[in-house]
Structure 1
Amino acid sequence: MAAPPSSRAGGGLTIQGKEEPVYSRAYPAELWVVADRLIDGTGRPLVERPALQVTDGRVGEVRAGGSAVVPPGAPVADLPGCTLLPGFVNGHAHVCLDATFDLFKHLETDPDGLLMSKMIGQAQAALRGGVTTIKDNGGRRDSTLVLRDALKAGILEGPTLVVGGVSLSNQWVGMDTRIAQTAEEVRHEATVQLAAGADFVHMYGSGSRMGRDLPRWQARYSTAEFRAAIETAAGFRKRVYVDTHATSGARAAVEAGVAALEHCYWVVEGGRIDMPQAILDQMARKGIYVVPTLSISYQRHPAPGGADQSWAQDRALGSFEARARVVEQMHRSGVKVVAGTDAGGWGTRFDEFPYELELLGQCGMSTMEVLRSATAVAAEFLDRQDELGTLVAGKRADIVAVKGDPLADLRTVWNIEAVFKDGRRWPGLASTS
């Protein structure tokens, strides 16, 4: 009999003595997924008429030739007209938020049971958008740790969660926050989060629309304080990711050597956009990623009448065309771009991840580069490249099948026909177009 779950300090759930899920249905011993095309995420040319083998939840071999090359009697999932891709990674999300325009009210007042029910629904909705891994940037107390561990244990079906626990800030910003105002306090609070089981340290690096205690153009932390977090995380073999709207926050974080800048709006005093090329060059040299989160700034769904319109489209950033030029310059400067939506935020749904890819496709990136920003590059960003991001032997069999050829028309990423998580097909997909 499997060992029972045990609690640990700081919350969450662990399964003792088992690396694989103990509550879930068994992985398919073998399955062959057959389609018209396969894009494996490595950047290599697509494979025509692939037959992809899944064994024990992992990718086995990939053969060209379709059903004709499948061993006789082997189980087959036949997806005619489809392209197989690695499961998408959403590089920035909050499963504790419900994508309404009253989300902070709900976060503060929902009972724990209701909040967890919503979080489960949000995580499972992500699968409908082709997302099999979510980087979650912070929730209420230990709620995201609990959900992550329940998914990992197989108690629930859903995507893999990579979570930061509770975010660090020098002031409360609207989300549940660990307050740290000095380098010593940053070290302490980062240690608390990592010891509780967080997968990374997440910090608010500047003022924002959400944190109204500080102008958007003002940094929250100095280079020394960011460095304190990085040194602490390194002791746990973890990374530090920073949200920043301000150019000053970006400069301090880049000088310290954080893993990534998220949002990265380059706001300076007076609300202007100023993106120094010297900082971009430093980001490229240090391998610092950027997650532009276009979906939250240029929302697909407008705020309904009666909602707080201050959370509608972020007009301070200017037109989408202007923001697209900023992202294009970051990309052309050699900064690695990761797809992330800020799902859960105002009007930004978990099942609409393809919208971010559609927007990135207008930012000077090739279609293959856009697809890799949500697969192989995103896996490297999470330091999970040995597990996911490409459909090569030994990786998790996280697969999304879209009707059509996304290299010919990127909008086909909306046409999701099937999603496989660890080789198991997710049931009940509905069109998100």
Structure 2
Amino acid sequence: MEVLEQFFSTLSGFIWGKYFLLWLLPLVGVFLMIRLAGFPLRRIPEAFARLWRGRQSNAEGEVTPFNALMTALSATIGTGNIVGVATAIGLGGPGALFWMWCMALVGMATKYAEAVCAVHFREKDASGHNIGGPMYYIKNGLGARWLWLGGAFAFFGCMAGFGIGNTVQAHSVADALYGSWQVPKAVTAVMLMALVAVVLVGGVKRIGEVAGRLVPTMGVAYVLCGLVVIVVNISSVPAAFALIFDSAFNGTAAAGGFAGASVAMAIQFGVARGVFSNEAGLGSAPIAHAAAKTNNPVEQGMVAMLGTFLDTIVVCSITGLAIICTGVWQGEALGAQMSQAAFTAGLPGGFGEVVITLAIALFAFTTLLGWSYYGERCAQFLFGARIIMPFRVVWVLAIYVGATADLSVVWIVADVLNGLMAVPNLIALILLSGLVVKLTREYRKKH
């Protein structure tokens, strides 16, 4: 087991190290943003208007544009917004938050292009349902000779789902509930299995409906609690922003329990945790957007890019500012404990611990739902519709394993599979970027 862990640790270090995805992901985002002449950034107000109107739609598809985004957000707004941000700041200093913002802004172009391609190249399965994602825009957009690349994405996506989207999430919920209220992990596992199974029976429409109600509610509640923490420490906000920008370019000196961080560390952990949080470039979110009730790929692309904006620029910023304003980033706490310490310092009566525990539980639950759909579609691409029901059964059973077992190796393997997912997707986006630009120009001429 130690040899296996060492192998995957080395592989993860290469994939997510300084010389591969941490450069490739932002460079592809910058490339797409330049080719699109800043279209995603300039159309943010219009995107919010379309999101609001997208609560209802009679166009062809499975779920409304609004619920498609909520399904995507259900998979991205998760432990990365709580644990990931704290980890980035704890290892890279406050400057890591600045690089998370940068990654999100260029990631909007990536997420936009993913959704445009997903809707444009989606197809119907034997049951008449709209299906799509990187494997389909590779297959239908790049031709038969690239089919192996689509198969590679589907394989890595299916396997990654059981890691980052299933067992890791179940483990986070079980740990949080046991740590705060001593709920036995086996009890948490059974509860999660039952709740997820009930939702999965209804397929993507049920997932979209649940996500459409749960994601906005929990997201707004978490942001409001975070804002209370920031308002309580409002006098520290100017200094917090100054520290973020200064340490992003000058590094962070050691202070308190913090060991200090270089500019390279701020960039590395900011970009890595930013990708982990919003998944721009991984190719997961376009699987959900391909099911949207829309006849226009560009319109859904604008809705999709808001996922990156809301996830990182809004939710992650709230967590990061709460951590920096309260000063807990200089203490001994790490990961979820750092976020918990920040909210406890700003909310009365121990309410901060309750907020973080419930947030981790709810965020992880919705991630289980979102990634179940991603994994199911990847499995369907590889094995056909007959795999759907067996996949759902295995998915539910895996929750118990995740909640009750030691996942030290699974975390590392999940990081590797996430990185391997991104490679086929980024290749496809570069090759299909001309089509994305063409569709965008046609839309601009009409509007």
Higher strand share: 1
| TM-score in same-fold range (> 0.5) | no
- Give TM-score, length-normalised by structure 2: 0.24
